A and B are shown apart, each in its own frame.
Chain A
């Protein structure tokens, strides 16, 4: 059995402030187009199934246009007789009681299997069982849900989250959940992972397919695309959908450079071939503020119009010193516990209730922080 493994389509993602002639965000349209191209390619390849390992939508309340694009693609697959297995990810799963999962709209369609109810579900497609663990409400739930899996001998596992081997590359998105090493069992025929946007193998039987698009500059070096996996022969083939279109340039050290020299450097990098239809970031470091203010941007801006997006990231000479550390809101409860502990040590809190007070207060604050974070996530556009 051959399957296509894809993930992190993020339909509805918009960025870079450029609009097309209909007034629609150009990058958002590009994301739709990329997804549709991928579906066409998949139909051409004719696999026995498609697995999408989370984050179909960029957020839990996709707009009508987003839903429409997705529906059209589902119909195409259905016409071609290719079943699809989908799990919800941290972006498109509801995290607060006020949200409804967008996937309820697509439930019950023929050959469309969606796990999105924050618990384990399995689907039998072809001669394999697809064990799906979608986004769960609590990071602690995953091991429990994983424990429900019963092997058939022909098993595929579908997960969305960051594996421990990539933990150094934390994406730092809110609601990111971790996949424990203990879930990556070698006796699965395949483990289809989603969340990390680069295409990488984690073990012989576990891969991140990566996303099709480049969503931020942190991904500029990533390999992108979808994977064709032969479940019987344990082989994965990478299929790219688009040529690389993101460049994050090496930082230019501007120490001692005048405004004219900086401009020359900029023009040097921004040749037409390099930036046309590309998303480019130019990094300048050690820039003097007066020099930066005096740069004549006219010709640079003409070039800039060719790019899909051109981003100038400037680190000023005087910047390093006055950088202050932001308070990490997600750890408020720890701060609070520390505070209470100090108070407790000053004997301001009676000894007999100290432990209870700290435990209760910390727990309460933790809940408040988590609730606030998740509400905020659901609301983002």
Chain B
């Protein structure tokens, strides 16, 4: 796009008698477009030609800059409309074989101000640009202020429309994680890819001993460990493998020196953990709670045996109830082979989280109930430990929950996660809720989430539900969210002054970049090793 570098004021003087844009003969077509024509402090309208070259098309999400004396306003396109100088439909009336008057029509772009830059500093706008100010596509250097406000966990690049701005990485602040994170996207839009990128950045920080929190990922799809075909997993990030610890229930991963066999020891299971497994009746619930009191230790083993049941019956509990409980517990132990008489991975999981590593729990093909059961034990244990040791020097912890609507939904009986959502922050424990149906998440819990990563959401109800509880105002971005493509996101988070449009890295590409970048620096530091004398 080329624009004459003439100022509007000069034009005005040259062409006396100017009474608005109606007199098209007075201002050339070119000069009447890309000008602010309306409207107020929270919404700008500007004109663009009704027909442009492909490369000049304006898209929702693009960022424009308006230089107005000492101030530079930045604004993001939220909508584009056909418009004309006439009321009604005059502009689309035919004259002979032609439309009425092409010179009277233009496109109106509606943009939302992001803020303005004054002497290199970014701030919220408390004023609006002068009418007819020139509007240009924002250039990279104009985003540099963003670098200052970015965090330490890189997830992608700034996006201007559908173009990635590679000079400006988008990074979330570690300090925001105990205020919870939500990842929202319709299926296939890139939630899993996002998690891997996020985890990779965490691994990098952990391997450098710079991480500020441990990340727990429980993966029911078995897709994060080694990926599948061309889709890579976290173990492929060899360079920062120090920052990753893997536990699996899948035999085919056991031979890998870097993968531990997941076990939970029987003695670590509490009656409360079983509540997610079945719909217990009130009587069963009472009995369950009592078991642990009746048998001081090994209740899980003893309740499976006839004399265990008898003991409970002699304590006044119904024999049928006890039979059901006993059968269900047997069933549970049979289905969950990782439950072990002695061995436990929990201390290892916790200490790695406290050290700030990424802990991946790979549980492919596990039933949904078993998965929730495991997640529930893990969360309880983490919260207990973090409460207990909140004085000890330990890093915060972020617990990832896939399909979070299952446990954070309205009326779900999984109070444990709700507890974390409500009070985890006190102990440095945050939740990372991933869901494709945000509308099912309890509004109150959603309002506890301070970082939103919103990717394409097709369902209007999902968007409305999110917009109503987001920290930043997302409602104006409705059209953009609707039109987001795979890997494109809006990131609204603490420490960054407005919802940032981002292009999430493709994990496979990011992996290559991480493996490569800055290799020479390392060689500078690590010298040769000494060899002690053995013979």
- Residues in chain A within 8 A of chain B (CB atoms): 94-97, 99-101, 104, 107, 116-118, 137-138, 140, 143, 146-147, 163-168, 180-187, 201-204, 206, 334, 355-356, 359-360, 363-364, 367
Contact = CB atoms under 8 A, between A and B. Distances in A.
Contacts of B526: 363
A31 B364 CA distance: 51
Contact of A204 (B256, B340, B525): B340
Nearest to A200: B342
Interface in B266-292: none
B469 to A, nearest CB: 35
13 contacts: A95-B532, A99-B533, A107-B535, A116-B534, A117-B534, A140-B242, A163-B348, A168-B347, A168-B351, A182-B246, A182-B258, A182-B259, A187-B254
A161 to B, nearest CB: 13
B419 interface: no
Given A99-B532, A99-B533, A204-B343, A359 B521 contact: yes
Interface in B514-535: 521-522, 524-527, 529-535
Given A186-B261, A187-B254, A101 B532 contact: yes
A116 B532 CA distance: 11
B99 to A, nearest CB: 56
Nearest to B340: A203
B306 to A, nearest CB: 26
B344 interface: yes
Given A165-B348, A166-B347, A356-B521, A118 B260 contact: no
Q: Which 4 A-B pairs have the closest CB atoms?
A: A164-B348, A363-B525, A203-B343, A181-B260
Given A143-B257, A183-B257, A363-B525, A96 B342 contact: no
Interface of B: 209, 242, 245-247, 254-261, 263, 340-345, 347-348, 351-352, 521-522, 524-527, 529-535
A115 to B, nearest CB: 11
A142 to B, nearest CB: 9
A181 B532 contact: no
A147 B257 contact: yes
Contacts of B525: 359-360, 363-364
A356 B530 CA distance: 25
A201 B342 contact: yes
Contact of B263 (A100, A138, A203, A364): A203
A94 B532 contact: yes
Given A99-B532, A100-B532, A187-B254, A204 B348 contact: no
Contacts of A116: 534
Contacts of A164: 345, 347-348, 351-352
A165 B533 contact: no
Contacts of A137: 529, 532
A142 B501 CA distance: 43
Contact of A143 (B258, B261, B341, B348): B258
B256 A182 contact: yes
Most B CB within 10 A of own CB, among A101, A147, A165, A166: A165
Contacts of B209: 334
B134 to A, nearest CB: 33
A210 to B, nearest CB: 16
A57 B304 CA distance: 48
Nearest to A181: B260
Given A180-B245, A334-B209, A360-B524, A97 B347 contact: no
A134 to B, nearest CB: 10
Nearest to B527: A367
A165 B340 contact: no
Contact of B347 (A99, A167, A180, A184): A167
B257 A104 contact: no
B483 to A, nearest CB: 38
Given A101-B532, A163-B348, 13 more contacts: A97-B530, A99-B532, A101-B533, A104-B535, A116-B534, A118-B534, A165-B343, A165-B347, A165-B348, A181-B261, A182-B246, A185-B254, A203-B342
Contacts of B351: 164, 167-168
B344 A165 contact: yes
Contacts of A363: 524-526
Nearest to A355: B521
Nearest to B209: A334
Contacts of A360: 521, 524-525
A187 B261 CA distance: 11
A96 B530 contact: yes
Contacts of B247: 181
B534 A101 contact: yes
A182 B261 CA distance: 7
A97 B534 CA distance: 10
B463 to A, nearest CB: 39
Contact of A97 (B242, B260, B261, B532): B532
A188 to B, nearest CB: 11
A146 B533 CA distance: 22
A222 B437 CA distance: 52
Contacts of A184: 260-261, 343
A203 B254 CA distance: 16
A137 B532 CA distance: 9
A140 B263 CA distance: 24
Given A143-B257, A168-B347, A202 B342 contact: yes
A104 B533 CA distance: 9
A182 B260 contact: yes
Contacts of B258: 143, 182
